[in-house]
Structure 1
Amino acid sequence: MILFHGSDKIVEKPVANYGRNKVDFGQGFYLTSLHEQAVKWAKIIAFKKGLGKAYVSEYTLDESLLDSLGLRYKKFLAYDMEWLDYVIDCRNGGSLQNQYDVVEGGVANDNVIDTVENYENGIITAEQALGQLQYKKVNHQICIRSQEVLDRMLQFIRWEEV
């Protein structure tokens, strides 16, 4: 699988326990299979930090090792109740994130986050939130929370300035 990471830096050797911990899938190294999404992330990060340069690093991930290494792997296939509960728990610094080495699924991006926040704040019910989320275009992210997984399964290929 080809994956991309957008940043204000070139990341040849990713680190699992770096960065914010109150994000969609908890603290970890985030990647996407969508090049355009990585470019957007890189530009947003560079802009927020007041930097002029943004980079996308490209990797391969050996998916066959996900099962053979006995990793704790979770894949969310849709914006559903399980995804919603997981994201809210992680964004609140909860412990669900500690159950997995690798988490894959949709992004709580600008098109989704208002719904998540409205549900979290009790403004709408879970059913209303899921009803709104079903019409959102699912983006893609993989959060690798284990350094062992990064070291054994992720191979840096190249980088580009975007």
Structure 2
Amino acid sequence: MKVYHASNTIIKRPDTLHSRVALDFGQGFYVTVLREQAIKYGERFKLRKQQAFLNVYELSDGWQAKNIKKFTAYDAEWLDFITANRRQRSVVSYDCVEGGIANDRIFRTIDLFLSQDISRDEALKRLRFEEPNHQICFLKQALIDAFLSFIDAEEI
């Protein structure tokens, strides 16, 4: 299956080390099956007067047989996992995490919750109406090395 990663550089050999900490699913390499979502994310680099590239990879079969956590909704478990990662608190260790991304609109709810401006219940009520999008975060380099192959990159 094809997956996409937007960046200000071409990444032929993805790794988990160059990611920022305190991201949704932790420090890792993020991809999505949604091409348009990756392109939209890549536009952020262009707004900062940087080059933007859509890196395309082949994700081979078998990766989901590993220690994977999959979130299918913006629910209490997802909220707890996201907020723990953003606060850099300890979470259950996985090789890879798949689920919805905290995009701009969703991040506003997360931000209000993290700053204690809204309660957990209020955050969950707001998230209930959001349609999950998609991201896969590879947290272990061995998983990237075994299942992710660079195909091409195109300038956005």
Among 127, 133, 137, the residue aligned to 1:143? 137
Aligned mates of 1:65, 1:72 — CA distance in 2: 9
Among 56, 59, 65, the residue aligned to 2:57? 59
**Aligned pairs (5 A) from 1:112-127:** 112-127=106-121
Aligned mates of 1:17, 1:63 — CA distance in 2: 24
1:21 maps to 21
**Structure 1 residue runs of 4 or more that deviate by more than 3 Å after TM superposition:** none
Aligned mates of 1:90, 1:63 — CA distance in 2: 28
Q: Given residue 17 of structure 1, which amino acid in structure 2 is its aligned partner?
A: L
Percent identity over the alignment?
A: 38
1:85 maps to 80
Secondary structure of 2:54 counterpart: strand
Q: CA deviation at 1:46?
A: 4.1
Contact kept? 1:7, 1:43, Cα under 8 Å: no
Secondary structure of 1:40 counterpart: helix
Query: Normalized against structure 2, the TM-score is what?
Result: 0.93
Query: Normalized against structure 1, the TM-score is what?
Result: 0.90
Q: Which range is displaced more, 126-135 or 5-14? A: 126-135
Q: Given residue 67 of structure 2, which amino acid in structure 1 is its aligned partner?
A: R
Aligned mates of 2:88, 2:38 — CA distance in 1: 24
Contact kept? 1:7, 1:46, Cα under 8 Å: no
Q: Which range is displaced more, 27-36 or 115-124? A: 115-124
Secondary structure of 1:60 counterpart: strand
Secondary structure of 2:107 counterpart: helix
Pair 81,63 (structure 1): closer, same or farther in 2 beyond 3 Å: farther
Among 100, 114, 132, the residue aligned to 1:106? 100
Work out whether 1:6 is the aligned partner of 2:6: yes
Q: CA deviation at 1:138?
A: 1.5
Let me know the Cα RMSD of the aligned residues.
1.4
Contact kept? 2:73, 2:99, Cα under 8 Å: yes
Q: CA deviation at 1:130?
A: 1.1
Aligned mates of 2:27, 2:78 — CA distance in 1: 16
